[in-house]
Structure 1
């Protein structure tokens, strides 16, 4: 009887691995496509020298499109809203990049931030995939980190504290890194089964990681 049960157990494991592989393939394919689309929109925004939409429009656009994508995640329209969401973030990135590129060492700062972002993302993703560790324990840290960072960002609009912006940027680097580990682990261990949501989570983490590293490099570069 044990010999009859073994094939079905192995078959179930094989199906699980196949599902995980499919989820990874769909997630990283969509992630690559949205990154390319967002970069194209950012380049267009830079070329046309479009103004930044401002804090209110950015927040409304971000959370509005995020909510829409979450609602549509199980339909084909979810792909449309995903590209709308990532394209909007690409548009907001254009004016920021233009501001940094106007600095004497702006090109070097942007290149270094891009390289460091790629290194951190692929390094953390590879570690989570190869080690097969379960990083679900980071959920508490991520939630607490989100609340702390949100309060710090809001406080920065009303009070000027030396080093606060530096602390916020460093906090976002750690926060984004934790989310990358958590989300990659969730794909491996079944905590996430929707590739659209996995893509959105990773994209936002990469976006925040890049901006935070760029800001840190800009802060330290201005001291030289």
Structure 2
């Protein structure tokens, strides 16, 4: 009887911890998305950042965030990271808004991103399925996408950029499933790291959809 009570108490404590991580993650995610939108607005008239600056800025701030994840300064680092990524979006969104039908392209990409994220998150939270089996696909996807981006940058292969964007949509969707599952199944207990993971997935998903919709709308 005592063992049953201990097991019940342990399960309740675990569920409470999961609920807290979910609440903190989605709360912080909402704030970082708003902050990114603000920094994107501020940078709307700026020239696009160089690829190397984006790369160094992103990985530098990502490393700093992981280093400070258990410190109050981790929150500052999260906003620095997501604010920087918002700055990279500003010139891109402004470009699409400047072309014919661009407002519709941006609105469609935003709507589809929100729909995909909410749908996938709701699916995992409702069914509580364990998506840890996606880890191998995600690891392989990182190397495949990295190789494809290097090839596209070096050789400018026709149509490859669209294929990369389509692959990023699938990759980001798998990451959202995996990251949400990791929270509810105990694989992730740090809401700062969980927020960063979901934010990066949403960022890549939005950019990829923006590129694809722009291409099929006749921009490319």
Q: TM-score, normalising length from structure 2?
A: 0.98
Counterpart position of 1:122: 118
3-state DSSP class of the match of 1:222? coil
Task: Say which SS state the counterpart of residue 63 (structure 1) adopts.
Answer: helix
C-alpha distance in 1 between matches for 2:76 and 2:157: 41
Q: 1:140 aligns with which of 127, 132, 136?
A: 136
Q: Distance in 2 between matches of 1:144 and 1:11?
A: 39
Corresponding residue for residue 43 of structure 2: 45
Which residue pairs with 2:214 in the alignment? 218
Superposed displacement of residue 5, structure 1: 2.2
Q: How does 1:176-191 map to 2 (within 5 A)?
A: 176-191=172-187
Tell me the distance in 2 between the aligned counterparts of 1:155 and 1:70. 30
Distance (whole Å) between structure 2 residues aligned to residue 115 and residue 168 of structure 1: 21
How well do the aligned residues superpose, as a CA RMSD in angstroms?
1.1
Tell me what 2:9 maps to: 11
1:140-173 per-position Cα deviation (integer Å, ceiling 9, x unaligned): 0000001000010011111122220111000000
Shift of 1:223: 7.0
Give yes or no for the alignment of 1:55 onto 2:51.
yes
Q: Which runs of 5+ in 1 are unaligned?
A: none
Aligned positions of 1:29-108 closer than 5 A: 29-46=27-44, 49-108=45-104
Moved over 6 A (4+): none
* C-alpha separation in 2, matches of 1:223 and 1:197: 36
- Structure 2, gaps ≥5 residues long: none
Cα distance change, pair 92–22 in 1 and its aligned pair in 2 (3 A): same
Helix, strand or coil at the partner of 1:124:
helix
